[in-house]
Amino acid sequence: MKVLILAPHPYYQERGTPIAVDLLIRALSERGDEVDLLTFHEGENREYEGLNIHRIEPFPAVRNLLPGLSIKKIYCDIFMFFRFMLLMRKGGYDIVHAVEESSFMALLVCPVTATPFVYDMDSSMTTQIVDKFPMLRPLRRFLGFMESLPMRYAKAVVPMCDALAEEAARYRSDNIVVLKDVSLVESHDGSGEAPDLRSELGLTGKVVMYIGNLESYQGIDLLLESFALVCKQSPDTSLVIIGGADKDIVKYRDLSSSLGVSHRVHLLGPRPISQIGQYMVQADVLASPRIQGLNTPMKVYSYLDSGVAVMATRLSTHTQVMNDEISMLAEPESKSFSEALLKLLDDNDLRARLAAAARVTMQRDHSYPAFRQKVHDLYAGLEPNY
């Protein structure tokens, strides 16, 4: 098949949705499909058999496009829409695979050329908008209706977690294929060695680690407030935070200082994904304090496959993948989270038991071969009958 993938974000970058798109391209390439990718101007090129990358050329150009809704992203979406129409005029595509908001572009353009499209649902756009702009809550019903349109008219809907699948099931009863993320622990080529953090940072006690962006929905405020409570009973514990934009790192350094724990909090900034597994095994606990959203954070799959115990908030963003048998879960408020974190830090056997059970689950259900098979099965069902 000849597939056009619409990816309205930088590609390739080492973060959630771009990584998921990269896995999709890899799986389609291995299936033997010809893939055209239309994406933003930022990012690194990747090479796969049958892949052609088309990038927008916004003028004037914008740089440093970050995750989440922003004026810069909307600006780039405008250029993407017109480039999409030009590609469709050339024709020849069997299907369009539209990620996130590009599903609205596909909804408008694909019927003109009688080209079916897949809606790749990586998040609830309505929830994202209302969480970021609370003043728009009165418009939630209207925004939900608009978001339902690509769900209704796509050839298939591909949510990345069960909660989003339930949302899609409100508007259709067929061709909903959950395509969950996979662990990235074993996906690197082994190049480069992560530094020994205990030696480099002078860490002496237990280590709690967070890896990911530092957007507000990730719950870094909750993590730092909880960690400050932990330090009162376990003063030699350290918190290592990997990832984040410069402005967010400055923000959370200031918060750490105001909480009186700056000497135990280490914000390291981004690190190569090729070293993700090497960093994680240096921790005693991996934390995912997310407080908003329906979709499961991609990092959770790698956390659970790392051999290290995982601590997370007891919200659907986590519980559709995690449970009390493979992780420590706590309510998303600082007292409960800190108490659960202390319990986990103090119990070596509990950490080992949870980590072992989690790894078995991940290797069974969330490996790349399982992901690839789901993509192949999905596209086998979408092949045109000539």
Whether residues 207 and 91 share a domain: the answer is no
125 belongs to a structural domain: yes
Whether residues 161 and 174 share a domain: the answer is yes
Kindly state the tokens that stand for 206. Answer: 């237990």
DSSP for 88-149, written as a single string: HHH---SEEEEETTHHHHHHHHHHHHT--EEEEE-S-HHHHHHHH-GGGGGGHHHHHHHHHH
Cα separations in angstroms, 227 against 41, 238, 335 = 39, 9, 10
Whether residues 139 and 223 share a domain: the answer is no
Whether residues 315 and 293 share a domain: the answer is yes
Domain that includes residue 26, residue range? 2-182+367-380
Handedness of CA 257, 261, 264, 268 (dihedral sign): negative
Q: Establish whether the linkage from the previous residue to 60 is cis, with ω within 30° of 0.
A: yes
**Residues sharing a CB contact under 8 Å with residue 25, sequence separation 6 or more, in sequence order:** 5, 35, 37, 46, 48, 51
Residue 192 banded pLDDT, cuts 50, 70, 90: low
Kindly state the tokens that stand for 28. Answer: 């389609």
Crossing angle of helices 220-233 and 246-258, in 10° steps, is 30
Gyration radius of the chain's alpha carbons: 21
Residue 189 banded pLDDT, cuts 50, 70, 90: very low
Share the mean pLDDT of the chain: 92
Question: What confidence score (pLDDT) does residue 127 get?
Answer: 81
Please report, rounded to a whole number, the percentage of residues in the chain having pLDDT higher than 70. Answer: 98
342 belongs to a structural domain: yes
**pLDDT (tens digit per residue) in 279-294:** 999 999 999 999 988 8
CATH of the domain at 57: 3.40.50.2000
189 belongs to a structural domain: no
The answer to whether residue 126 scores a pLDDT higher than 90 is no
Whether residues 133 and 152 share a domain: the answer is yes
Whether residues 372 and 342 share a domain: the answer is no
Higher pLDDT, 312 or 298: 312
Give the total number of structural domains in the chain: 2
Whether residues 249 and 348 share a domain: the answer is yes
Question: What confidence score (pLDDT) does residue 186 get?
Answer: 62
Whether residues 283 and 376 share a domain: the answer is no
81 belongs to a structural domain: yes
User: Cβ(326)–Cβ(356) under 8 Å?
Assistant: no
Mean pLDDT of the region 320-333: 96
Pairing of strands 117-121, 156-159: parallel
pTM: 0.77
User: Cβ(283)–Cβ(308) under 8 Å?
Assistant: yes
User: Cβ(240)–Cβ(266) under 8 Å?
Assistant: yes
190 belongs to a structural domain: no
Phi, then psi, of 299 in degrees rounded to 5:
-60, -25
Whether residues 178 and 310 share a domain: the answer is no
**pLDDT (tens digit per residue) in 24-80:** 999 999 999 999 999 999 999 999 999 999 999 999 989 988 877 789 999 999 999
Whether residues 325 and 239 share a domain: the answer is yes
Cα atoms found within 13 Å of the Cα of residue 150, Cβ hemisphere only: 27
Q: Name the amino acid, one letter, at 98.
A: A
Sheet (strand 265-269) strand order? 265-269, 238-242, 207-211, 285-288, 309-313, 328-330
Buried b (16+ CB within 10 A) or exposed e, 319-357: bbbbeeebbbbbebebeebbbbbbebbeeeeebeebbee
SS3 215: coil
386 belongs to a structural domain: no
Q: Nearest to residue 159, comparing CAs of 118, 128, 187? A: 118
358 belongs to a structural domain: yes
Question: What confidence score (pLDDT) does residue 97 get?
Answer: 98
Whether residues 7 and 152 share a domain: the answer is yes
Whether residues 161 and 306 share a domain: the answer is no
Question: What confidence score (pLDDT) does residue 272 get?
Answer: 87
191 belongs to a structural domain: no
